Amino acid sequence: MAVGFDPDQLVKEGDPVLIEEDVMQSLGMPNVNFDTGAAQLAVSSSGHLAYVRGGVFPIQAGTLMRVTPEGGAEPLDSVSLANFSFYYMRLSPGGDRLAFVDVQGRRANIYVHDFARDTTQQLITGGYRSTFLSWSPDGESIAFSTNREDGVNNIYRMPADGSGEQPERLAPSDQFQSMMSWSSDGVIAYMQGGDIWMLPPDGEPAPFFTSEVFESHATFSPDGKWLAYTAGSSRGNEVYIRPYPGPGTAALISGNGSAAPAWSRDGTQLYFRQGSLILQTVVLMVVDITEGRPSPARLLIDPWPYMNLNPTRSFDVLEEGGFIATTMDGAQVADASERYRVDEIQVVLNFFEVLRQRVVD
């Protein structure tokens, strides 16, 4: 678009007019580092225009799937869940609602879906990027990470019913915080500085333990007595459990590179994904847990073709067994990748003359 401008009065003249259509713009990009809003064009001092075609990146929609322990899957039939991406989803303690994050470029908003009423409501978090969420034990609140103050992600809490109350900052810090898990006793586990931190209901935040490696995917057992998490090693990430609040040492659960632990609703099993995201060889494993003692891991679902994220998992466990997970439309992703593969640049010679004819004249 272009519009006339008076440089002396600093005001525009006339109405905006269309100059070139379908100019590629960095909006809605899956990688937020590329989501700058910039139009892919340049104008030379001699008056020529160069640009790339493509428009804005299309909406990335996902499909919620109910997955059985045997690996069977069917889409969740819901009109109100169309055109969302379903990042960082968590079921409410009662299993009747689903909180999830819809990510489109730099926008990341939290929604709550009510299964019985088939309604999906956005939580008004102030227009900031909000991610990494968890339900309170009573199902009344949601804690999440957002950059609404000081430009740094911290942990906030707000009502899950969308009542309009402003989010409450829980552990102010100048460091990036990622919400992980909320125990049955009200203890919040979150990531800060590569370590797992704890925030008791009536206490001060403190690291649970410190190490030389990066931890992630922290999640409390249903009774709040154990914490499962992922930690790095020379051979990749592995899954561990530790007693909470301790004392006690970590027990290694997995091998061959694993992440994203999730407890069964009764706390007797621990699921985790294993394999290479890059090579797309991901499977879902399970171990039985008896008084903190894990059984040998066994294969549960092969392959695990659903969305995988860090530093927290992108699926959850259903009350009746099985899982709720997200699959992305492979054709849609392929079309978007093809659309944004740049193989030519459009050039408009004497662009200044075009502007004079369309704007000034």
Domain coordinates in residue numbering, the chain: 2-56+340-360, 71-326
Q: Is 64:74 a contact under the CB 8 Å cutoff?
A: no
- Kindly tell me the sign of the dihedral angle through the C-alpha atoms of 208, 154, 181, 278: negative
Alpha-carbon span 186 to 163, nearest angstrom: 21
Query: What share of the chain in percent tops pLDDT 70?
Result: 94
HSE-CB for 276 with a 13 A CA cutoff: 5
Which CATH number applies to 71-326?
2.120.10.30
CA distances from 32 to 27, 36, 103, 105 (A): 9, 8, 10, 6
Predicted local confidence at residue 128, as pLDDT: 86
HSE-CB for 220 with a 13 A CA cutoff: 26
- Report pLDDT digits (tens) over 92-133: 999 999 999 998 877 899 999 999 999 999 999 887 889 999
Predicted local confidence at residue 331, as pLDDT: 47
Alpha-carbon span 289 to 286, nearest angstrom: 10
CA distances from 38 to 59, 106, 256, 335 (A): 18, 13, 42, 22
Closest CA to 110 of 153, 64, 159, 74: 159
List the beta strands (DSSP E) in 234-315: 236-243, 251-252, 258-263, 269-274, 283-290, 293-294, 298-301
Average pLDDT over residues 150-154: 90
